[in-house]
Each structure stands twice: as structure tokens, then as C-alpha cells.
Amino acid sequence: MPSGPLRRALRAAGHHLAAIVQVGKEGATDAVTRQLDQALLDHELVKVKVGTESPEDRFEAADRLAAGAQAQLAQILGRTLLLYRKHPRKPRFEPGPASDETAAPEPRSSRRASTRKRSPRRAPAARGAGARTLRKGR
């Protein structure tokens, strides 16, 4: 199971996802595990719906799918599972390996910003009796 802050981030990101993989009347089969494996490679965070006709209960299906796809179970909510596996090249939720390609770009020089001329702010218009009569057109 992921750490607390990571789990919180995964649950927040998974809230708006639709279930991509469904476990049907035959349970968590090898075909479902292969489909989940491909979905995790594509999306990194996947919702799985366990059908009511499944012979396994939701906890058994969650354990079996997580073990079969080498994924981590982030949440079980009703009959919906949220599974996570870190992407090998472009992780979204955990920091990836430090390499030259993924290094953050160097910040721009602040010299350019400091030489820019700024226009002075104007004071707001007066709201006296003359301003009211001009607005109303009298």
C-alpha cells in the first residue's frame, strides 16, 4: 500500500476517473489481469469495477489483481478498486529517476524583468457630486 501522502494524492486524482477495467461473472481471470496490466502501463492509475455477479468478493479480487499486475491498491470504495503502478518512464505521482532529459529547465534571468519600465498607477476617479451628474447625463 502506498504511503499516506501518496495515497491521498492518488485518491484525489482517481475520484474523477471512470472505471476502465471490469471484473465480470468469471472473476479476476488472466485476461482481466492482462487488461489491467496494459491499462496501468497506459494510465498509471486505474479504476476497476468488480461486478455483483463475480464469484470473488471485492477484497479477494483486489488482492488477486494487485498481485497479478504488480500494482498497489490505493483504495477500495464499494465495489470499485483504485490500483496504481508507477510508470517506468514518465511517473506522474512519484518523482522519477534523475536524468538529464527530465531535469528542470534553468530559471530565466531576472535581469530582463528588472529593466522593464513600469507605468505609474493612476489614482481612481473622484466620486463627487460632479461625477454623479455627468454619469446620469444631466
Tens of pLDDT, residue by residue over 69-90, are: 999 999 999 999 999 998 878 8
**Cell 444631466 found at:** 138
Please give the CATH superfamily to which domain 4-84 belongs.
YhbY-like (3.30.110.60)
pTM over 0.85: no
Mean pLDDT of 101-125: 58
**Domain positions in the chain:** 4-84
**Predicted local confidence at residue 84, as pLDDT:** 92
Mean pLDDT of 92-104: 56
Cβ neighbors of 37 (< 8 A, separation 6 or more) are 68, 69
Question: For residue 118, is pLDDT > 80?
Answer: no
| 3-class secondary-structure state, position 92 | coil
pLDDT tens, residue by residue, 24-67 = 999 899 999 999 999 999 898 999 999 999 999 999 999 999 99
Pairing assessment for the beta strands 19-23 and 72-77 based on DSSP bridges: unpaired
Question: For residue 98, is pLDDT > 60?
Answer: no
Mean pLDDT of 86-114: 61
| Residue closest to 74 by CA, chosen among 44, 118, 99, 101 | 44
Query: How confident is the prediction for the chain on average, in pLDDT?
Result: 79
User: From CA 103, how far away is CA 88, in angstroms rounded?
Assistant: 16
| Residue closest to 74 by CA, chosen among 22, 4, 10 | 10
